[in-house]
Amino acid sequence: MTTSAQAWSDRLASRAARLGVIGQGYVGLPLALVFHEAGFRVVGFDIDPSKVAALSHGESFIKHIGSERVNAAVGSGRYTATADFARLNECDAIFICVPTPLGRHREPDNSFIHNSARAIAKRLRRGQLVVLESTTYPGTTEGEVLPLLEESGLKCPDDFLLAFSPEREDPGRKDFNTRTIPKLVGGVNPASTEIALALYQTCVENVIAVSHARVAESAKLLENVFRSVNIALVNELKMILDRMGIDVWEVIRAAATKPFGFMPFYPGPGLGGHCIPLDPFYLSWKAAENGEWARFIELAGEINSRMPGYVVQKVADALNGDRKALNGSKVLVLGLSYKPNVDDDRESPSYEILELLAGAGAHVDYCDPYFPAARKTRKHDLRLSSVPCDADTFSRYDALVVSTAHDLFRKPDLFRKVGLVIDTRNLVAPLFPEGGGPRVVKA
């Protein structure tokens, strides 16, 4: 073990190392908390003053994390939230957990990563470790973050260390969490891998080292491409089988009885979350830069992007069956979250469905107690508030569209006065196995 590694080992064992996490959202906040709970002093950095204020008062703005954990961290005196990036100099290790969105033409936007790297470079000192966790295309850590950090005049690995470790957060999941989800780590050189591995091992149960940051970057993209392609497959099958009068949900259940060689994926109204709708295009963009065409990725993106429009067409067709036009009808969309039982609306297809319905002349509302008011996003500004989640309210609409399968929607009494449901999640029909419920059109 090198002298530098021995010094790091001593600081980790004694918990003397001070850690900084840039970005206190769905990735950075849970990471900061698990390091705090492992005994470290942690500074959480964010450019949003409202987040910093809430966290400083022990309040969590992410429901599944809970204010109890944040309040305990703040109360211990070992976790602080700040917008003062000058404090990066205090930190022995700095983790970058910032968004990586797509531009208007589906091109990668690494500006948040670059801005974070520049902020670190201004305060970079000898002995620091920097780890990028934001999902990005292969080569970002070495080809973009490293040069920005070395503008400080310091060199890696002689003066500082640099690694990539992809986030694998899945908000609201009960069976895995930040501590128990296996962690990949790859440095831009062996020394960086060694120290980053040792640091994560203090708070994560299973940490796996790979040969280089490029491998870790690529592995995260493979995970998300795998899901995107398979979801696109079942979405396409949904449309094909619907034309044949076959229920795709029953087909999937039947296929899933095979104990090997099959993994069930389920259709929906489109892709949501920060990973699957965006990250595969990072790889297709990088592939094109290297003279290759990522056909599967582009085709999957095309199919999944069609889903909100497909759902709206199913609504129009279903209303026609009731001798009503979509134009002028009252339509209620159930669920603004991108997945069940969480207050996470990032890239949720519900936003596009609501806008397409309104654009076709429908009078739209949504119901989602996780979002009393719809937030303004990079793409959408609905300016709507959630209607009450009760049977009388539901009965006032010509059609209900199930977009998110929240558990709170799984109550038969909510739908007994409803005439028509367009169900993208196969939620309502199973509530009435013997009939007697609303007319359900699966979409």
Express each pLDDT in 90-144 by its tens digit: 999 999 999 998 887 788 999 999 999 999 999 999 999 999 999 999 999 999 9
> CB of 263 within 8 A of CB of 229?
no
| Those residues with Cβ within 8 angstroms of residue 261's Cβ, 6 or more apart along the chain or in another chain | none
Query: How many Cα neighbours within 13 Å face the side chain of 188?
Result: 23
Q: Name the catalytic one among 91, 156, 203, 275.
A: 275
Order across the sheet with 129-132: list the strands: 79-82, 41-45, 18-22, 93-96, 129-132, 161-164, 183-187, 207-209
- pTM, full prediction: 0.91
275 as an active site residue: the answer is: yes
Domains of the chain: which residue ranges?
3-211, 236-442
Model confidence at 189: pLDDT above 70: yes
Express each pLDDT in 251-291 by its tens digit: 999 999 999 999 999 999 998 887 778 888 888 888 888 99
Of 64, 21, 61, 65, give the one whose Cα is nearest residue 41: 21
Helices H, strands E: what count in the chain? Answer: 14, 13
Q: CATH for 236-442, among 3.40.50.300, 3.40.50.720, 3.30.565.60, 1.10.10.410?
A: 3.40.50.720
> CB of 403 within 8 A of CB of 335?
yes
> CB of 168 within 8 A of CB of 181?
yes
CA dihedral sign, ordered 249, 254, 255, 260: positive
CATH of domain 3-211: 3.40.50.720
